[in-house]
Amino acid sequence: MTHTVPPGNPEAPTTPAATDPGPAVSASGHHTAAAAGGLPAALKRRVPKYADLAPLMQFKKPEFSRAARLRRASTIWDLRDMAKRRTPQAPFDYTDGAAEAEISLRRARQAFLDIEFRPGVLRDVSSIDLSTDILGGPSRLPVGIAPTGFTRMMQSEGEYAGSQAAAAAGIPYTLSTMGTASLEDVAAAAPTGRNWFQLYLWTDRERSLELIQRAAAAGNDTLMVTVDTAVAGARLRDVRNGMTIPPALTLKTVLDASYRPAWWFNFLTHEPLTFASLSRYTGTVADLINAMFDPTLTFADLDWLRETWKGKLVVKGIQTVEDARKVVDHGADGIVLSNHGGRQLDRAPIPFHLLPEVSAALKADHSDAAIILDTGIMNGADIIAALALGADFTLIGRAYLYGLMAGGRAGVDRALQILEKDMERTMALLGVSRVADLTPEHVRILRT
């Protein structure tokens, strides 16, 4: 019986031969082992030769230095893991935690995960430009460092590390009123940087005016007034840790210190923590908080501030479209969509979800006010998504503080390097070479 073999079908059955016809011969007369049922030479086992193994045996000497550890960090989450190992629980939780059940923070981070990027192909992305203009000045990256209080508590280099890293990266740095380095010292530490100042507007206008004047004299071109702190949020991790400023040497903290000696050595051998911008303040921390978070503030106070401050004015803590429009009507040059990193009102609106609506509303009003976003950013792709949906700029708080706690100034540098690499890669894969070319068409929100 004869089997017909369709031409070109390698999976068709073959007819067993009655006799062995011998090895197959190619058109050139050479024998082919595969056709005869043998294995190609590359698939035959053999004893490996030293010459073959030598290039594979590139054993590296283990590196345990801080620089080596930081190089191994590929994500902000890696830096967070390092920070947790190196920092006592109370300062770490002060940075890492949020208010009450921390729902706002989890939702803010989840919001960035619940998106779908929509890439374009066949675009020239051989050169990626992440630079942008914000509030009348250039920034090499579309991200700046947000104001954070008590920063030298997280790591002894504190605001000095943050401001110098920001200057080196060509991005703005924002000093908090509750910072542990003064306006003047930050300006001296980062003389080439673009420094902004964050203000809690006090009922004591003389004290507020003094800080505003010092900010101007120190060369700050932007004042960022925070308005979402009528009272302090219920930050339960801090309550459970018995967190004090500065940290107290209790039995619990001494035991904690035994696992983190470098932090305590740095803490005890540097200048004690103080609220450096508040040189005339002599009250307790609790009194300071009560004075700082003024429940009587209204839009009239914003009007006073607009008249007083001659530089760029940004209002931080906007959480509704209506308030975004109102603060712009009252003279703000920019807004920060922020729920204070989830540290004030739990279940607060998520800035990333609010962004498209606010952007559309301000465009409808023909406003050129800058839209800045913070809360939840842990990856450069988060920043690109925010820019695509209407943000002009972004701010990072925890993301850079994890780097600070992981390795001081070098750790902040590494955090910014990671975010920059994330942004460049995301832009290239989206088929976009400039920040200005990002549009809402590049991002789809899967659920809200």
270 in active site = no
Q: Which amino acid, 162? A: G
- CA nearest 429: which of 134, 118, 39? 118
Which residue do the tokens 């976009």 mark? 432
Helices (H) and strands (E) in the chain, counts: 18, 12
Exactly one of 3, 31, 270, 340 is catalytic; which is it?
Answer: 340
Q: Using CA atoms in the order 388, 97, 186, 277, what is the torsion angle rounded to 10 degrees?
A: 120
In b/e form, how buried is each residue of 404-418, taking b as 16+ CB within 10 angstroms?
Answer: bbbbbbbbbbbbbbb
**Amino acid identity for residue 196 in this structure:** W
145/173 Cα distance (integer angstroms): 5
What is the rounded distance in angstroms from the CA atom of residue 20 to the CA atom of residue 139?
78
| DSSP letters for 143-204 | EEEPP-TTHHHHSTTHHHHHHHHHHHHT-EEEE-TT-SS-HHHHHHHSTTSEEEEEEPPPS-
Distance in angstroms (rounded) separating the CA atoms of residues 408 and 361: 41
* Cα dist from 35 to 11, 14, 16, 19, 21, whole Å: 14, 12, 14, 16, 12
What does the CA dihedral 66, 68, 74, 79 come to, rounded to 10 degrees? -10
> Of 139, 187, 137, nearest to 159 (Cα)?
187
CA distance 354 to 346: 16
**Residue 397 structure tokens:** 């708080």
Strand 334-337 vs strand 312-318: parallel, antiparallel, or unpaired?
parallel
Contacts of 234 (CB under 8 A, 6+ apart): 99, 100, 346
Active centre residues (catalytic): 340
